[in-house]
Amino acid sequence: MSMKEAAEIFKQFQSDKWLYNGQVLWSGVSRSQAQEWADRHHMQTLTTAMGSLMDELHPDCLKSSKTPHQWGQGDKVTLLSPPPPERFHPSGLSNYQAIEQPIVQGLIGEYAVQKIMMVHPTVKESEEFSYEAATVKFASIVVLALLIFFVLTQYITLLLIGLLFALLERSQSGNEGGRYRQSQCNHNDGKDSWDEINGNGVAELGVTPSRTTKAEPHAQTKAEDKARKKAKADEKSHALAEEKARKKVRALKQDEARKKAKAEKESRARAEEKARKKAKAEKKARALKEEEAKKKAKAEKKARALKEEEARKKAKAEKKARALKEAEARKKAKAEEKSKAQHR
């Protein structure tokens, strides 16, 4: 597509012919049915919105291979489709699924509509009913919820593993302490046998009884210290994971808020621009109407003046005719009197 053709399409979509939030897409229904539904509800299909650019009889018409599918304005779009479960084509390769849906959901480009309204015109008595389909915003919330659930699950799992290890360490330490206490009892009850063991067995190893009894509580303390360190490390790891998840959630919320603010700002700007254009058009229309009224008043005044002038001329002519008639009558009367006088 050339820059000139793209500019023509952009100009068409920025003109007064574009209906704000009045666009209709369709999938799985015939074009004629979609066009009829859109016309009946005073909305636009792509063909209507493109105007002469898609009229094959018009010289400005573009080739069908160059038809744009992006709808870059508005907060809402209406989609006509068959009812569930066959709402969309199972292949996922229809024009709407492959081209239009990623654009209106904001997956391609930076702008996404806020609402996708579903209508099923093929179902009798429900072709006037519409409902909102899930948008990318809803999908983002679902993904965020799943992410939080995953992080919490991992945290709980690691916590349970840490508790299990701590219990095992404590149990092992308790067994060692029991063996130590049993050794002490044996030492107290049978000193002779202990001395014998100490003299024969332990002496051969070069280890005294006092060193052996001191090593066991040291090992227990070391195991407990190791368990405490591990629990502390696990707690720190969980805290870091939690903080990371919180940061990610905050970042997602901030990004969502930025996108929403941007969309609202663009929507307000478009509405203000449309209002300015409308006010300008109304002002121009009023000026034309006033000019037309002035011209009409001037013409009427001129016509009245001509009519009055003609009436004055007519009255003057009638007056002159009456005067001539009266003079003629006087002359005639005078002549008659003179004639009578002569006869006498």
**Which three-class secondary structure state does DSSP give residue 2?**
coil
Please check whether residue 302 lies inside any domain of the structure: no
Distances 220 to 132, 178, 213 between C-alpha atoms, Å: 65, 12, 12
Say how many C-beta atoms besides its own lie within 10 A of residue 41's C-beta. Answer: 15
pLDDT at residue 285, as a whole number: 92
Where residue 15 falls among pLDDT bands split at 50, 70, 90? low
Q: Is 117 in the same domain as 149?
A: no
Phi and psi at residue 222, to the nearest 5°: -65, -40
Label residue 313 by pLDDT band (50, 70, 90).
very high
Digit-coded pLDDT (tens) for 292-305: 999 999 999 999 99
154 and 114 together in one domain: no
Total residues found in the chain within this entry: 344
Do residues 127 and 143 both lie within one domain? no
Rounded to whole angstroms, the Cα distance separating 201 from 197 reads 5
Structure tokens at 75: 């907060």
Residue 68 forms part of a structural domain: yes
Count of domains observed in the chain: 2
184 & 243 share domain: yes
Structural domain contains residue 343: no
Longest dimension (CA), the chain: 209
Helix axes 136-189, 209-343, angle to 10 degrees: 170
Phi, psi of 211 (to 5 degrees): -65, -40
- Same domain for 185 and 235, yes or no, is yes
Do 116 and 32 lie in one domain? The reply is: yes
Task: Find the angle CA(135)-CA(138)-CA(141) to the nearest 5 degrees.
Answer: 150
Q: Which of 166, 9, 31 is nearest to 94 (CA)?
A: 31
Q: Please indicate, yes or no, if residue 301 is contained in any of the structural domains.
A: no
97 in a structural domain: yes
3-state DSSP assignment of residue 44: strand
**Burial (CB count within 10 angstroms: exposed 0-12, middle 13-18, buried 19+), residue 118:** middle
Three-state DSSP state, 217: helix
| Final residue belonging to a domain, choices 83, 106, 133 | 133
Question: pLDDT (tens digit, 9 = 90+) per residue, 245-276?
Answer: 888 888 888 888 899 999 999 999 999 999 99
The boundaries of the domain holding residue 207 are 139-274
Residues 41 and 165 placed together within one structural domain of the fold? no
